[in-house]
Amino acid sequence: MRYNKAFIPTLREVPSEAQAISHQLMLRAGLVRQLSAGVYSFLPLGWRAMQKVMHIVRQEMDAIGGQEFYFPALNPIEIWHQTGRVESMGEVLFHIKNREGLVLAPTHEEVVAFHARQHVKSYKDLPQIWYQIQIKFRNEPRPRFGVLRGRQFTMKDSYSLDDSWEGLDSSYEKHNYAYQRIFSRCGLHFFVVGASSGAMGGSASQEFMVESPAGEDTCAVCASCNYAANIEVARSATEPTARLPESQYLERFPTPGVHTINDLVYGHGIPEERCAKALLYIVDRGPVLILLRGNDELNEAKLQAALGTISVRPAAPEELRAYTGATAGSIGPIGLPVSLPVIADERLRDANELVSGANADGYHYRHIDLMRDCRIDMYADLRTVQEHEPCPQCRSPLRIVRAIEVGHIFKLGTKYSEALGATFLDEHGQERPIVMGSYGIGIERIVAAFIEQNHDERGICWIPSIAPLQVHLIALGLEQSKAVHDAAEQLYQELWTNGVETLYDDRSETAGVKFNDADLIGLPLQLIVSPRNVESGVVEIKERRSGKRHHVASAEVVPVVQRLLKYLSQEPQSVIFP
RNA sequence: CGGGGCGUAGCGCAGCCUGGGUUAGCGCGCCUGGUUUGGGACCAGGAGGUCGUGGGUUCAAAUCCCACCGCCCCGACCA
């Protein structure tokens, strides 16, 4: 690729709309351009990087027995109605306006189940792993961070079809294995977290996360022992509120002006761990009283999981008054005007000598004994884990980090096969629904996440496996020196002849411009051909990431380049949590 | 959808508020010629603008008013 004729519009300045580093660098290095919010064109260099990633994905998917398909993005809405996802996806699903009955597919469970229904009839047809690399359309309410959250993006999605839950376990493990290899080969430092199954239905689910400030997920990770979990399910080894030997008489006392736990702690000298914070939530239209210890923060995802519904929201002030007779900060489990279901955090299990609101503004109760004075309908893990809390496995301090979800593996079960009637006959002639799994990888996200993790102040630092090209050949003083011109041209030919993908900067730019563009684009190796190098019969090789330089005799260049590329390709130590 | 910000040349911005009238300006980039050539060179000349769109006020609008559109950020949402 000759730079002079290539379309590589590098930018010296940072476009103002780009916040995330990957977004800035993808624009500056000429990898992508925005077309509209959440919609990006991939330019030649960006597309080459994408193709490198897809190549790795294909190799690893094929290695676990995956068969590549190419499903349509245009889907009949009918199959989406059958699984109830027209409603559940809501605004996220793009509808075609001038053609009734078509939608743009945000994922392909329905299509897979449709074809499985057509042709998978016997247990002898199973198992299957079907995958594709295809464009997905999701009407994201808020696209952001460049290609990290777009309205259209490229996904490798695969679907396993099995005749049993044991078979699903095996397909799931194969994907787990393939994903570890894919992300490692793409040079990502990643970790795996257990995830909540959310609205997809199904049982087990794991997310492959790349730590980055541009991430949209929050995770708790332990540096010592490999514990990692999405904040939605993360736990920590915090102390429970100890049950004291004696419960004193329940007592209502005045607390004028007290609205927060800190008011109780600092204004009334009540230890924080003896405070029971009460929240009122509306769950599936009914009110539920929630008790947390002290300043613990409710995690709504955990609440959803505990109650088995996604419909939860904090009560409005009017609702609070109607159900408790008090305003926020003065509610509690004792003295409710009407009986409400009460769900308390595990940390408060069977605790006593607690202080909580009296359901009357300006009053609290003390000496509350949850076993004696209230009916707790359920204890559950409801609190949000905080930074520095002890790891549940090894008690080292947890870190709370932002992370990019680059992959997700999912045990779906039979939800989609049942909805679409995708059944098979087992060895006893019994008709049963196919057991499905679904597995996604965001291709653009791999590229962006890699850049988030592999850049310096000058630009991107690619590794050979996903670099757009391997070598950046820089010729200096091209127009002054025929020797340089001839040497560079010859080297360029030689490199490509030997299969080394080379970008040849044959522009008549100054050295500084060429060096800066080369560092910005960040191909793993830079070869510098200049008058002084040519004169001494050498070519200078610079490793982009480390900055190490080698002066190599012209005849040795290609083999040395090949050796260096091989060396730089050694899989980095990835953080893998099985 | 709620809150905030922005929209002026390819990119980054000033001008607007706080005097409505300027040839609408600066840096980078681009074109021509020349000098340069190891870390974003220099000189000279030049091209490039529906000031987001529509309406209103006014003798006169980039500037004031209204509406709309687009983009960005925070939040809500996110298999």
Name the residue among A418, A407, A442, A440 with its Cα closest to residue A108.
Answer: A440
| Residue A300 CB lies within 7 Å of the nucleic strand B | yes
Query: CB of residue A16 closer than 7 A to nucleic acid strand B?
Result: yes
pLDDT of res. A202: 58
Is pLDDT of A165 > 90? yes
Q: Please compute the mean of the pLDDT values over residues A192-207 and round it to a whole number.
A: 70
Closest CA to A325 of A316, A335, A315: A335
Phi and psi (nearest 5°) for A206? -130, 145
CA A17 to C1' B73, in angstroms, rounded, equals: 9
Q: What is the pLDDT of residue A447?
A: 96
Q: For residue A577, what pLDDT is reported?
A: 43
Alpha carbon distance A54, A60 (integer Å) = 10
Instruction: Find which nucleotide's C1' atom is closest to A35's CA.
Output: B71
**What is the C-alpha separation between A208 and A54, in angstroms, rounded?**
17
Q: Does position A18 have pLDDT exceeding 70, yes or no?
A: yes
pLDDT score of A196: 60
A516 touches strand B (CB under 7 A): yes
Q: Is the CB of A269 under 7 A from strand B?
A: no
Query: Cβ neighbours of residue A490 under 8 Å, at least 6 residues apart?
Result: none
Position A259 pLDDT exceeds 90: no
d(CA A389, CA A399): 8
Write down the CATH superfamily of domain A469-568: Anticodon-binding domain (3.40.50.800)
**Mean pLDDT across the stretch A174-185?**
96
A251-380 placed in CATH 3.90.960.10: yes
Domain definitions of chain A by residue range = 43-234+400-452, 251-380, 469-568
Burial of A443 (0-12, 13-18, 19+ CB in 10 A): buried
Q: Which window residues (333-362, chain A) lie with Cβ within 7 Å of strand B?
A: none
Please state whether strand B lies within 7 Å of residue A556 at its CB atom.
Answer: no
**Contact, A563 vs A480, CB < 8 A?**
no
- Residues in Cβ contact with A423 at an 8 Å cutoff, skipping those fewer than 6 apart: A117, A417, A431, A432, A433, A434
Q: Which of residues 199-258 of A touch strand B (CB under 7 A)?
A: 199-201, 216
A530 CB below 7 A from strand B atoms: yes
State yes or no: ipTM above 0.95.
no
Band (A315; pLDDT cuts 50, 70, 90): confident
- What mean pLDDT is predicted for residues A13-39? 91
A304 confidence band (pLDDT: 50, 70, 90):
confident
| Interatomic CA–C1' length for residue A297 and nucleotide B28, angstroms | 49
Residue whose Cα is closest to the C1' of B36: A510
Q: How far, in Å, CA of A29 to CA of A9, rounded? A: 7
* Strand B reaches within 7 A of the A155 CB: yes
pLDDT digits (tens, 9 = 90+) for A87-117: 888 889 999 888 889 999 999 999 999 999 9
Intra-chain end-to-end CA distance of chain A, in Å: 41
Q: A247-250 — which CB contacts under 8 Å span 24+ positions? A: A247/A352, A247/A353, A247/A367, A247/A369, A247/A372, A248/A353, A248/A367, A249/A367, A250/A334, A250/A365, A250/A366, A250/A367, A250/A368, A250/A369, A250/A373
Minimum-distance nucleotide, CA of A27 to C1':
B11
Token pair of A458, please? 């000058």
Does strand B come within 7 Å of the CB of A457?
no
A396-422 mean pLDDT: 93
| For residue A78, pLDDT beyond 60 | yes
The helices-and-strands tally (H runs, E runs) of chain A is 16, 31
Q: Where are the beta strands (DSSP E) in A420-494?
A: 423-425, 431-433, 435-442, 455-456, 459-460, 471-475
Highest mean pLDDT among A7-21, A127-141, A215-229: A127-141
In whole angstroms, B45 C1' to A539 CA is 40
CA of A9 to C1' of B6 (A): 25
Q: Does A199 have pLDDT greater than 60?
A: no
Q: Which two tokens stand for residue A321?
A: 């008054």
> Which residue did the predictor score with more confidence, A175 or A318?
A175
Q: What is the mean pLDDT of chain A?
A: 92
Residues 363-402 of A with CB under 7 A from strand B: none
Q: Tell me, what's the pLDDT at A571?
A: 58
Q: Which nucleotide is nearest to A530 (CA to C1')?
A: B38
Domains A43-234+400-452 and A469-568 equal at CATH topology level: no
**Is the C-beta atom of A532 closer than 7 angstroms to strand B?**
yes
Nearest in space to A110 (alpha carbons), one of A416, A409, A411: A416
CA-nearest of A55, A56, A54 to A185 is A56
Q: Is the pLDDT of residue A576 over 80?
A: no
Which nucleotide lies nearest residue A511, CA to C1'?
Answer: B38
Which nucleotide comes closest to A14 if you measure CA to C1'?
Answer: B12
Instruction: Pick out residues 303-332 of chain A having their CB under 7 A from any atom of nucleic acid strand B.
Output: 310
The nucleotides of chain B lying under 7 Å from a protein CB are 1, 11-13, 27-29, 36-41, 70-79
Q: Does A43-234+400-452 carry CATH code 3.30.930.10?
A: yes
Please report, rounded to whole angstroms, the spatial distance between the CA atom of protein residue A160 and the C1' atom of nucleotide B78: 24
Name which residue leads in pLDDT, A432 or A282.
A432
pLDDT classification of A142: cutoffs 50, 70, 90: confident
Return the structure tokens found at A531. 């008058």
Q: Which of A14-18, A59-63, A69-73 has the lowest mean pLDDT?
A: A14-18
Confidence of residue A561 (pLDDT cuts 50, 70, 90): very high
A408 touches strand B (CB under 7 A): yes
Rounded CA–C1' distance between A459 and B6, in angstroms: 27
